[in-house]
Amino acid sequence: MIERTEWVAALTAQPTDKLMTVIAELSSNWSIRPKTLPQSGLGMLKLNDSAFEEAFYLGEFPLSSAWVEIKTTEGLIAEGAAQVMDDRVDVAEALALCDAVLSAQLPGWESIASLVDEGTEIREAIRQERKQILASTQVNFSLLDDIGDNDAAS
């Protein structure tokens, strides 16, 4: 199993409807209470320029967050949270529920763990595909040195 900090990234590689279906089945009898109000909005990407170290904003991105507490029918209590670059609050809530289920190993955690494993495989396949595409676009400029200086002969 991967580290907790990577769970959200692995789960977001899954189709959203699959994630929502699994979490809805698991949480149907649970009491779910938000610890903070789920939010959706825009985040600003702030960087420092390399010349003068002055801050500037590169752009905006969608950001949703949720922090929930779960109480199961057996009386188990767990908390989970998630921040995701998505404009849908329900996705952030589902990811926070997944975080709580996995961290406390609540009943059904194995199904979430398998989603994380599948998501990790999906992300690795995408990474390999991108790596191949990048390798196919590289140019070997050292061949230009072999041609020599043809302009001087003219």
Q: Give the mean model confidence (pLDDT) for residues 23-48.
A: 92
Q: Give the mean model confidence (pLDDT) for residues 19-30.
A: 92
pLDDT exceeds cutoff 80 at 60: yes
pLDDT of residue 153: 52
Q: Which residues contact 7 (CB under 8 A, 6 or more apart)?
A: 98, 99, 102, 116
- Tally the domains of the chain: 1
Chain segment 119-138, per-residue pLDDT in tens: 999 999 999 999 999 988 88
pLDDT of residue 95: 97
What are phi and psi for residue 87, nearest 5 degrees?
-95, 10
pLDDT exceeds cutoff 60 at 151: no
In a domain, 78, yes or no: yes
pLDDT of residue 112: 95
| Mean pLDDT of all residues belonging to the chain | 90
In a domain, 151, yes or no: no
- Total-model pTM: 0.81
Residue 106 structural domain: 4-134
In a domain, 109, yes or no: yes
